[in-house]
Amino acid sequence: MDCLAGNLTQLLKIKRQLFGRIMTEFEYYISYEIFKQLVESVKYLHNNNVIHRDLKPDNVLIDNENNYRYIKLCDFGLSKSVDVLNYRYRQSRVKHTADVVQYMAPEAKSGTNYNHLVDVYSLALIGAKIFGLDSDDIRDG
């Protein structure tokens, strides 16, 4: 796992093939480190009144420099700048691919009003993937 250049989807595929077992303490720490950075990145967006609206593993880039792993969010094509605390946004008519819908909050899928919490929902699903939990538990409430 030293060479992490790529995106989170690629890492999750490798992780599943390599580990296929309960994570060791070190592997858990790496997963925690990546997820923590992802949460901090989304918090930064929300503090600056931006809703990403397309959080998924493909849009989380991971690199390793000087033995330090770091992530970068990408693909801000669906993002919106709003007052995230007071504004509820209605989804515009945009074609979504299956992988986008997989991580999308129910209120965003249905086109009803929603706010920055749609990103939090996506984070929960991504976190489940990272830590090997059942995403259906989140979807089912």
State residue 90's pLDDT score: 56
Q: What are phi and psi of 51, to 5 degrees?
A: -105, 125
13 pLDDT tier (thresholds 50, 70, 90): confident
CA atoms within 13 A on the CB side of 97: 6
* 83 has a pLDDT exceeding 80: no
Whether residue 71 contacts residue 11, with contact meaning beta carbons closer than 8 Å, is answered with no
Residue 96 included in any domain: yes
Domain count, the chain: 1
State residue 97's pLDDT score: 45
Which has the minimum average pLDDT: 66-70, 73-77, 94-98, 117-121?
94-98
State residue 17's pLDDT score: 59
> CATH code at 61?
1.10.510.10
Residue 1 included in any domain: no
Whether residue 53 contacts residue 118, with contact meaning beta carbons closer than 8 Å, is answered with yes
Q: Give Cα 73 distance to the centre of its chain.
A: 9
21 pLDDT tier (thresholds 50, 70, 90): low
| Residues assigned a catalytic role | 54
Mean pLDDT value across the chain: 80
Strands (E), the chain: 6-7, 50-51, 60-65, 68-73, 80-81, 89-90, 113-114
Residue 25 included in any domain: yes
* 10 has a pLDDT exceeding 90: no
Residue 71 included in any domain: yes
- Range(s) of the domain holding residue 63: 6-139
Average pLDDT of 61-73? 87
pTM for the complete prediction? 0.80
Q: Is residue 35 within a helix (H) or strand (E), and if so which, with residue range?
A: helix 25-47
* 91 has a pLDDT exceeding 70: no
